[in-house]
């Protein structure tokens, strides 16, 4: 069954006020640009957004922060967004900062149906406040819960009509695991190829996880910090 859609706004209209969303990407690499634009147009509010980062002020999730659509951010790296900082310090935005490896594993665990796991990351820091600890072989570990979401919006390089996906480069960091952890998963791609053209050995996300597939016309692929030789 083909999962290709042409009206992304109609799908995003299913997102309700107060829903939890996962948004893929690492920095500004592999972010679901078209889905974020559709969320902006929808005007949906009080969202909890799970993402490695919060974009920048005028791009990515940063645009949703500008419109006050995000109630809570569950993230790891947020240092490139001045509006995020302002809302955090003023108490307008609820924030849960998580060590990057722990965030990745919490999403992977949620997608695998694992309710919780133990990790040494964060022991003895603010990350451990209010969390259960347990000792294994003389070392203290924190219990962390798996993460799931009402919707996951991911960005891939290629996909076929069945929703099988291939990611490119850094886009593989969070997109594949988020595609397993959303109740409804929307994948946007740069190219859609005929079923059978993707080598099964190279597929990163099997189509069984994908509900909707959308082809973007052109991606900005902005660079956060450009460093060049003198």
Could you read off the pLDDT of 101-123 as tens digits, one per residue?
A: 999 999 999 999 999 999 999 99
Question: What is the pLDDT, as a whole number, of residue 113?
Answer: 97
Could you read off the pLDDT of 56-94 as tens digits, one per residue?
A: 888 999 999 999 999 999 999 887 788 999 999 999 999
Instruction: Tell me: pLDDT of 225 over 90.
Output: no
Residue among 151, 127, 105, 110 at smallest CA distance from 12: 151
Domain ranges of the chain: 4-115+146-215
Could you read off the pLDDT of 12-41 as tens digits, one per residue?
A: 999 999 999 999 999 889 999 999 999 999
Residues 65, 83: Cα–Cα separation, whole Å: 7
Residues 73, 163: Cα–Cα separation, whole Å: 28
228: left (phi over 0), alpha (psi -120 to 50) or beta: beta
**Burial (CB count within 10 angstroms: exposed 0-12, middle 13-18, buried 19+), residue 188:** buried
Question: What is the pLDDT, as a whole number, of residue 44?
Answer: 98
Nearest-10 Cα torsion for 140, 108, 184, 31: 110
Match 């809302």 to its residue by tokens. 87
Give backbone dihedrals phi and psi of 84, rounded to 5 degrees, phi first.
-60, -50
Tokens of 115: 């309710």
Instruction: Tell me: pLDDT of 152 over 90.
Output: yes
Question: What is the pLDDT, as a whole number, of residue 227?
Answer: 85
Question: What is the pLDDT, as a whole number, of residue 178?
Answer: 98
Could you read off the pLDDT of 166-223 as tens digits, one per residue?
A: 999 999 999 999 999 999 999 999 999 999 999 999 999 999 999 999 999 989 877 7
Q: Give DSSP secondary structure letters for 120-160.
A: STTTTSGGGTT--EEEETTEEEEEEE---EEEEEEEEEEEE
- CATH for the stretch 4-115+146-215: 3.40.1080.10
């Amino acid at each position: 069954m083909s999962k290709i859609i042409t009206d992304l706004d109609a799908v995003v209209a299913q997102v309700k006020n107060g829903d939890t969303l996962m948004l893929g990407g690492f920095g500004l690499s592999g972010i679901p640009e078209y889905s974020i634009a559709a969320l902006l147009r929808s005007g949906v509010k009080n969202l909890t957004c799970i993402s490695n980062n919060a974009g920048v002020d005028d791009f990515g999730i940063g645009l949703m922060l500008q419109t006050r659509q995000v109630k809570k951010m569950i993230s790891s790296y947020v240092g490139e967004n001045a509006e995020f900082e302002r809302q955090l310090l003023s108490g307008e935005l609820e924030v849960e900062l998580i060590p990057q490896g722990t965030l990745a594993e919490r999403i992977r665990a949620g997608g695998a149906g694992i309710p919780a796991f133990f990790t040494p990351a964060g022991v003895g820091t603010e990350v451990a406040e209010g969390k259960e600890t347990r000792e294994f072989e003389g070392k203290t570990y924190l219990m962390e819960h798996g993460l799931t979401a009402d919707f996951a919006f991911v960005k891939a390089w290629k996909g076929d009509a069945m929703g099988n996906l291939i990611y490119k480069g850094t886009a593989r960091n969070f997109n594949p695991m988020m595609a397993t952890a959303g109740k409804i998963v929307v994948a946007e791609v740069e190219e859609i190829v005929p079923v059978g053209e993707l080598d099964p050995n190279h597929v990163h996300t099997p189509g069984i996880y994908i509900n909707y597939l959308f082809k973007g016309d052109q991606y900005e692929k902005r660079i956060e910090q450009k460093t060049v030789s003198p």
